[in-house]
Amino acid sequence: MSPDTHVLALIEEGNPIPDPDQLTVDQELNQLYLTAINRRNVEATMLDTETRTEQSTKPRSRTLVAIAAVVAIVVGVAWVLLSQNETEVPPAVTPTTLVSEVAPTFEGFWADPTGTQVAFQDNNYFIVRNGVTEDQGTFTFLESSANLRFRSNSLTVSCMSGDVGGYDFIFPNADSLQMTVATEDCGEFERLGQSIALTRTTAFGIPQVEVEVTTTIAAGPIFGPNGFEVFIGQDAPGTYETDPESRFRPLIFSTDGSWGCVHSNPDLLPAGSPICGSHGPVFELDSSGVVAGFLVISETGREPAEVLSSLRANSEVVVGGETEFVPESGDWSSVVFTLDAADSAPSRTTHCGTYEGPCAGTDLINPTDTEATHHGSEPTDWAVSSTQTIWLITLGDGSELVAIAWFEKSYVPPEEDVAALAEAATAVISSLNFPG
């Protein structure tokens, strides 16, 4: 066999999926199930004939409805499959109690003097800095308990190249946590969302801080030290369609006590997560630029109106208009964004990551980048030009507003569900309280 034939044969052999027909139904379900949870949203949208009328003159609305419709169709297919395999379908966003499979002595909450904290719980890790979750994901032990592998849930926070910079980006204070890169995996795992292996160079000599991580820490993001409360704005419970061009999926409030973002792999997003990854879901304004609702998560117990009022006073937020949100000082570990409220124009959305503060603002904004949003929405020949997305904003001063989301309401739940949903959502949020 000549070398060229040989290498071609090797490539053929390396086909990750040599026979697509052998794919199992489960894999299909894994994909389709997610769409099923949008069922009510889709139904509401499909029944909204007024919206249908509007779509003829509003490209963005048309797209939204179109996407809702495609979801409906896919749901139909999914429904058939689900009905055949009902018992195999995992709940997507139910609050779960994960079964710990790791050495219990390892679990706990570790901190370094600079304020970076790492919590290990039920195979999940959380890296928190100044009260803001910078990264989270799963960890597993490798061959020996001395080696750990971290796998970030976030596609945007991960190993970049295996160099120190990339490493630090994942784990800002790895050295002080006495961990070092154990393998060269990073060199090959250059892809976002891949994993990095770390090794404890000593037996975790950092003293455990005073708090013990207990089951009260849900497998979800940790926003701050104490007392989260959730406030739900008008008609907030329900299903909200996020940017259809984005990889992020809807934010769900459901009557079973769960809420969270939905990702294609529910396992990657723990129940009760109000934020997907470290950036959060994308929400849309309606076509007029009016914010249709809001969700405020605050740890201070203030009323939403008060929080919003404070925001306006401090940062010149103008709801529903041309907006420039500038932190009052450089202390916040996020956020600057701009919103182009013109429906017909391409949106310009950007934000600063939550992991590198303070945000310098314009250095991360490319004024010429008007074609696509920072995440998701890549222009293609069929792409929607106007998305008007705003990112969930994560404020990281550790004492006040933690997150705020603006979204377009696309589903109004029955009135009797609202109270139950609010109560359920509050309960879930309460379960995120960080003890101590």
Residue choice 45, 51, 63, 388 for contact with another protein (CB under 8 A): 63
Q: Does 327 bind another protein (CB under 8 A)?
A: no
Question: How many Å is the Cα radius of gyration of the chain?
Answer: 22
Determine the interface stretch with another protein among 183-191, 196-204, 392-400, 406-414 (rule: CB under 8 A): 183-191
Q: How many CB atoms lie within 10 A of CB 255?
A: 11
* Of residues 358-377, those binding another protein (CB under 8 A): 364, 366, 372, 374-377
x-or-dash string of contact with another protein, 147-166, rule CB under 8 A: --------xxx--xx-x-xx
Rounded least distance, CB 66 to another protein, Å: 5
Q: Does 35 bind another protein (CB under 8 A)?
A: yes
Q: How many CB atoms lie within 10 A of CB 307?
A: 19
Please, which residues have CB within 8 angstroms of residue 266's CB and are 6 or more apart in sequence? 33, 34, 90, 91, 92, 93
Number of residues in contact with another protein under rule CB under 8 A: 71
Q: Does 188 bind another protein (CB under 8 A)?
A: yes
* Cβ distance to another protein smaller for residue 165 or 205: 165
DSSP state of 169: H
d(C-alpha 118, C-alpha 98), whole Å? 18
Residue choice 86, 101, 210, 381 for contact with another protein (CB under 8 A): 381
Q: Does 1 bind another protein (CB under 8 A)?
A: no
Chain centroid, CA 420 distance in Å:
24
Q: Does 184 bind another protein (CB under 8 A)?
A: no
3-state secondary structure of 168: helix
* Of residues 207-246, those binding another protein (CB under 8 A): 244-245
* Of residues 69-128, those binding another protein (CB under 8 A): 69-70, 73-74, 76-77
Q: Does 265 bind another protein (CB under 8 A)?
A: yes
Q: How many CB atoms lie within 10 A of CB 123?
A: 17
For residues 248 and 242, the answer to whether their CB atoms sit within 8 Å is yes
Phi/psi of residue 130, each to 5°?
A: 50, 40
* Cβ distance to another protein smaller for residue 74 or 326: 74
* Of residues 192-211, those binding another protein (CB under 8 A): 192-194
Of 297, 316, 292, 319, the C-alpha closest to 307 is 297
